[in-house]
Amino acid sequence: MANYEIDPSILFSYLPKGVELDYFNGKTYVSLVGFLFKDSSIFNFPIPSMGTFEEVNLRFYVVRKVGNELRRGVVFINETVPNKIVAWVANKLYKEHYIAIPTKHKWNFVNDKKEIEYQWKVQSKWNSIKVVASVVKQKW
């Protein structure tokens, strides 16, 4: 949802072996992304009462050279979900690095206006990211 230019030296300690930072127009970016998992399942089995939840993550972008091919990827600095069990499962089954803290979201769609907000609580303080967009209808 939001991209921020960052000094590349800040990211060097997070770089996995075999990849390099991906630059866009000579600049390095991190992204703060909020999204909603809906009706999630594990191996096609629904997760009762935990199938719908927010995730907020902080990520940056990398490249890896494989022969003559340049492959792009993402490195997650932080992945946040509200449920400890979801975090545990993601960490154990998928070798992720999730943390579980309180989260919430608000989606308001009224006419042609969309407001989407994600919040996460760290040390009793709510943090948030919000986007407001208007839909413009094209006449063809």
Along the chain (140 residues), what's the average pLDDT of each consecutive run of 10 residues?
94 96 96 89 72 92 95 95 90 91 94 94 95 84
Residue 80 dihedral angles phi and psi, to the nearest 5°: -120, 130
Domain boundaries, the chain: 2-101
Q: What is the pLDDT of residue 115?
A: 95
Instruction: Tell me the β-bridge partners of 64.
Output: 71
Q: What is the pLDDT of residue 116?
A: 94
C-alpha–C-alpha distance, residues 46 and 86, integer Å? 12
Half-sphere CA count of 120, side-chain side, radius 13 A: 21
Interior angle at CA 90, CA 70 and CA 92, nearest 5: 100
Q: What is the pLDDT of residue 136?
A: 80
Architecture of domain 2-101: Beta Barrel (2.40)
Residue 75 in contact with residue 57, Cβ under 8 Å? no
Q: What is the pLDDT of residue 49?
A: 67
